[in-house]
Structure 1
Amino acid sequence: MSVGDVVFRAFDESDEEVSDGICKDIADFYWIDVDFFFILNPGLERDCSNIQSNTEYCTDGWIEPVRDPDGLCGHLFRRASIMETPSTVPTANTAPRTEQPAARRLMGGLLQLGGL
C-alpha cells in the first residue's frame, strides 16, 4: 500500500434493478459524498451509466495518508498520521513489554476521562 492508494474497507451489492441516480442513492444510504463514492469505485462513469445490477461496489474506505513510523503526527510535524505498530520498550526493573502506539494511548485516556 502506497500513499494516495484507495484502501477499500466495505462493500455492498447493488440491487437487481438499477436506475438513474442509483450511485447517489447508494452514497446517501452509506452517508458518504457521491464524489467519494466514485473515488472508491473508479471504474464507474460519473453519470453512473455503467453500474451493473447484483454487483459489489465499495461503500467505505480511505485514501492512504503519509504515515510516520516514529509517531510524530499532526501539523507540527507535517505528518498526516502515525504507523499503528507496537514498539517494545524495555525498563530497568521488568522484561520488555509491548507499548500501545501514542495515538491509541491518547484515545484511551480521553475515553476514560469521558472526553469522547
Structure 2
Amino acid sequence: MPTRLFALGVVSALLTPLVFCAPTPGDIVCRYEATTPAQVNYYTCTELSLKYFITVDKFFELNPSVDKDCETIKPNAVYCVKGWKQPPLANDGLCGLPHNNASCAGLDKQCCNSETWTCGNEE
C-alpha cells in the first residue's frame, strides 16, 4: 500500500465529518499523483519528471518534503506530478504579475485585466 506523504484539507477525527475547504495561498493543489517504485534512488525524481512531462524544479515545488538531491524520496509512496501552488487572492483588487501573481478567481470580479492589473468583469 503506498504511503501518502502530503495532504490538503482538514483532517477529521473519529466520528467527525470530513470538511473540505478551498486551498489557501501557498497550498499545493495536486491534480494527479504517481507512486514511486519499490526501488528508488537519487535519479527517481528525474524519472518521474520525465515520465509526467514536468521539470524537476516543478516536481520539487509540488513535493516540498523531497530534498533537492532526491535522497528523501520514499519507495512505494505517492507524489504529486500535476498541480500548482495556490496563488494569493487579490483581496485588494490588484492582480497579476506586478502584484505577487495574485488571482481574482473566487472574487466577485474574477478576471484580471492585463493592462491595469485590476480585477474586473470585462476586458
State the TM-score, normalizing by the size of structure 1. Answer: 0.58
What letter matches 2:87 in structure 1? P
- Counterpart of 2:34 in structure 1 is 12
Shift of the 75–52 alpha-carbon distance from structure 1 to 2, 3 Å rule, reads closer
SS of the residue corresponding to residue 67 of structure 1 reads coil
- SS across alignment from 2:81: strand
**Map of 1:59 onto structure 2:** 81
Q: Note the aligned Cα RMSD (angstroms).
A: 2.8
2:45 paired residue number: 23
Task: Give the structure with the higher percent helix.
Answer: 1
Q: Structure 1 residues 52, 80: closer, same or farther in 2, change over 3 A?
A: same
Q: 1:54-105 CA distances to partner (integer Å, 9 max, x unpaired)?
A: 11111111111133479885569x56332247x7xxxxxxxxxxxxx669xx
Residue 13 of structure 1, CA deviation: 0.3
2:5 paired residue number: none
Where in structure 2 are there 5+ consecutive unaligned residues? 1-22, 113-123
Q: Flag structure 1 segments of 5+ consecutive residues without an equivalent.
A: 88-100, 104-116
Question: Number of residues paired by the alignment?
Answer: 89
1:35 lines up with 2:60 in the alignment: no
| DSSP-derived class of the 2:58 partner | helix
Query: One-letter code of the match for 1:13?
Result: T
Structure 1 residues 69 and 51 mapped into 2: Cα distance closer, same or farther (>3 Å)?
Answer: same
> Hey, what does 1:80 align to over in structure 2?
102
Residues 71, 83 of structure 1: 8 Å contact kept: no
If the length of structure 2 is used for normalisation, what is the TM-score? 0.55
Identity of matched residues, %? 35
Greater Rg by CA: 1
Alpha-carbon contact 1:11-1:58 (below 8 Å) kept:
yes
